[in-house]
Amino acid sequence: MVLSKLLEKLFDLHNHKASSFNGLFVFGLVALSVDITHIAHVVQSPI
């Protein structure tokens, strides 16, 4: 559910017409959270 909260923040920043830097920062957080969940799935899966 962390991803949904990050997306909420992304939409909030977009609605407030935040700077492109803030948009990229939030996008980076979303991408990072996706990478973390992907890595977690890989680690949990049997080799």
pLDDT in tens, 2-47: 778 877 877 776 666 656 667 778 888 888 888 888 888 878 776 5
pLDDT for 4? 82
18 DSSP assignment: -
HSE toward the beta carbon, residue 28, CA cutoff 13 A: 6
pLDDT for 42? 79
Give the predicted TM-score (pTM) of the model.
0.40
pLDDT for 41? 81
**Residues 21 and 41: beta-carbon distance below 8 Å:** no
